[in-house]
């Protein structure tokens, strides 16, 4: 089954439609690469997907293990581009948890879940992932 379809709209903009839900997102090339930068760039989506995946997998762990839920957790993402060749060189993510009492065991479960999310495991090992957990 097709995951998504992408249409090039011109002016370095694409429209991506998720097949199952019919949800649409747009991307622009960033300003520093000839684009308008008016919406997410494809590389922004990669960095954002990493943080979203980490939080989602931690949410699954909370359900599966019956531990303190993380509803309301947030992630701040910084993407650092490298040149020669142009690529994502680093993704820095700061995950802030709701103010609750987490046991050391729960913290370990959450941290392990984050580092083993499918997106984290799919990215090239040369891409530096810097993750900070704020409890």
Share of the chain above pLDDT 90, in %: 98
pTM reported for the whole predicted model: 0.94
CATH code assigned to 42-134: 3.30.300.20
Mean pLDDT of the chain: 97
Between the alpha carbon of residue 86 and those of residues 10, 35, 72, 80, 126, the distances in Å are 22, 15, 35, 11, 13
2 and 17 Cβ atoms separated by less than 8 Å: no
Can you give the pLDDT at residue 104?
97
Q: Token pair for residue 74?
A: 């947030």
Can you give the pLDDT at residue 72?
97
Ordered by start, the domain boundaries in the chain are 4-33, 42-134
For residue range 74-112, list pLDDT tens digits in order: 999 999 999 999 999 999 999 999 999 999 999 999 999
Can you give the pLDDT at residue 114?
97
Task: Please give the average per-residue pLDDT across 7-27, as a whole number.
Answer: 97
């Amino acid at each position: 089954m097709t995951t998504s379809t992408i249409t090039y709209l011109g002016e370095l903009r694409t429209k991506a439609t998720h097949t199952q839900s019919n949800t649409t997102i747009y991307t622009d090339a960033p300003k520093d690469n000839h684009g308008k930068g008016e919406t997410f760039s494809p590389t922004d989506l990669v960095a954002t997907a990493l943080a979203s995946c980490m939080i989602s997998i931690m949410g699954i762990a909370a359900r599966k293990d019956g531990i303190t839920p993380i509803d309301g957790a947030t992630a701040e993402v910084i993407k650092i581009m490298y040149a020669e060749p142009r690529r994502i060189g680093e993704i820095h993510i700061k995950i802030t948890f709701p103010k609750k009492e987490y046991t050391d065991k729960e913290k370990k479960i959450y941290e392990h879940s984050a580092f083993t999310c499918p997106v984290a495991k799919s990215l090239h090992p040369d891409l530096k992932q810097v993750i900070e957990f704020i409890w």
